[in-house]
Amino acid sequence: MKINQISVFLENKSGRLAAVTRILSENKVNIRALSIADTSDFGILRLIVDQPKLAFDVLKNEGFSVSPTEVIGVEMPDEPGGLSGVLKILESNGFNIEYLYAFIGKGENGALVILRIEKAEEAIQCLEENGIKVLMGEKLYQL
């Protein structure tokens, strides 16, 4: 159920993000979702792509610090309170979220949010028990 995300360490200097996107484009890798966490010295780029393994290999070969990480994709109603409902379930069941960001495309039945969460397997189970749809990786890469 988990989704393979790729995280790339970037120095805070111009042209680094452009270099990553250029390498991906040359290898015909399509970016499905992305977010950047930045500090004064460095940034971490997180990517969901249609071909995670290929993206990982080409970036690594180009000398980037790349790390494969697992996240979950959650579908929710695209209306006020959609995300709030999901977070409420996670919170009341004691799950800590490391970070989250919105998916660029849209799910079949609403908005999509990517979550990095502790104890992912249990979280997935908990969400599903509460009627929340958690997306399969393969499905999400192709959305």
Partner 1 sequence: MILRNIYKFVILLFISVYFILSDQNCGKKERSTLYWNQRYETLPREELEQLQLERLKMTIERSFYSVPHYRSVMQEAGMGPEDINCLEDLQKLPFTTKEDLRNNYPYGMFAVPLSEIVRIHSSSGTTGKPTVVGYTRNDINNWAELMARALVSGGAKKNDIIHNAYGYGLFTGGLGIHYGAERLGASVIPISGGNTKRQIMIMCDYGSTVLTCTPSYALYISEMVEEMGLDPKKDLKLRCGVLGAEPWSENMRLEIEKRLDISAVDIYGISEVIGPGVAVECSCKKGLHVMEDHFIVEVIDPDTGEIIPEGEEGELVFTSLTKEGLPILRYRTRDIASVDYEPCPCGRTHIRMSRVSGRTDDMLVIRGVNVFPSQIESVLLEVGYTEPHYLLVVDREDNLDILTVWVELSSKSFASDEVRKLEELGAKIRGEIEAALGLSVKVKLVEPKTIERSEGKAKRVIDNRKL
Residues near partner 1 (CB under 8 A): 5, 7, 9-11, 16, 37, 39, 41-42, 44, 46, 60, 63-67, 69, 98-99, 116
| Distance between CA atoms of residues 138 and 88, nearest Å | 27
* Shorter beta-carbon distance to partner 1: residue 43 or 82: 43
* Shorter beta-carbon distance to partner 1: residue 35 or 51: 35
Q: How far apart are the first and last CA of the chain?
A: 15
Token pair for 122 = 């249990």
* Shorter beta-carbon distance to partner 1: residue 77 or 99: 99
Min CB(51)–partner 1 separation in Å = 19
* Shorter beta-carbon distance to partner 1: residue 13 or 28: 13
- Write down the residue that tokens 């997180």 correspond to: 46
Task: List helix spans (H) across 1-143.
Answer: 16-26, 52-61, 82-92, 120-129, 137-142
DSSP 13-43: STTHHHHHHHHHHHTTPPEEEEEEEE-SSEE
Min CB(45)–partner 1 separation in Å = 9
DSSP category for residue 102: E
Min CB(67)–partner 1 separation in Å = 5
* Shorter beta-carbon distance to partner 1: residue 31 or 44: 44
Min CB(109)–partner 1 separation in Å = 29
Min CB(93)–partner 1 separation in Å = 21
